Amino acid sequence: GAVVSQHPSWVICKSGTSVKIECRSLDFQATTMFWYRQFPKQSLMLMATSNEGSKATYEQGVEKDKFLINHASLTLSTLTVTSAHPEDSSFYICSAKHYREAYNEQFFGPGTRLTVL
Amino acid sequence: AQKVTQAQTEISVVEKEDVTLDCVYETRDTTYYLFWYKQPPSGELVFLIRRNSFDEQNEISGRYSWNFQKSTSSFNFTITASQVVDSAVYFCALSEAQNAGGTSYGKLTFGQGTILTVHP
């Protein structure tokens, strides 16, 4: 089955530092990856859509300069939270869409829990 | 704009009871996809079902069943004979079709989630 991994699974950092989260499709190629954010006891909200080789598309209200997304290969997308602050503490989940449109599936990663002190 | 509403914030049942989780959606698209996911305390989303707007057939999978009613824009989820292991947050989600043929879907819009607690 298709597997999506995220690294790290959890991270604690000091306010003002930057944190990079990786999302990898392990056994398939993904032209599109999605990044979601989930605050405690809330729903998942889409942050951005990441397409391999092009700039990410951010949802309204998401600061693109703060949440840097790079999708450099068909199996890897990264989300960097720059100058993180306590309000950025959240659960970040990615999903990867199989590159073959006929194989109409998306697969979610296990999530990364970010705590900013 | 797309919207998914799960009016039940929390549901508490005793083991072996049947429970139905409601989901109502709004979309202007004629072709779309509906989903249910389970999120246990670990946080990882567990895929339960995907249904496209062309297919209004109800589905049963073991103790799980889904009722898709296009006329009322609802996609309800029923767990029969609930078990303690069913305790989790359940999300209903909606995605528009990404191509003209409606064979591909894109980003998901999630409902607020329903916390289900099954007591022994």
Write out chain B residues lying below 8 Å of A91, CB-based: 43
List, in sequence order, every residue forming a beta bridge with A51; answer none if it has no partner: A32
Write out chain B residues lying below 8 Å of A36, CB-based: 108
Q: Does B107 touch chain A (CB under 8 A)?
A: yes
Burial (CB count within 10 angstroms: exposed 0-12, middle 13-18, buried 19+), residue B7: exposed
A54-110 residue pLDDT tens: 889 999 999 999 999 999 899 999 999 999 999 999 999 999 988 776 667 789 999
Q: Does B109 touch chain A (CB under 8 A)?
A: yes
Whose tokens are 């062309």? That residue is B54
A36-45 residue pLDDT tens: 999 999 999 9
Q: Does A42 touch chain B (CB under 8 A)?
A: yes
Burial (CB count within 10 angstroms: exposed 0-12, middle 13-18, buried 19+), residue A94: buried
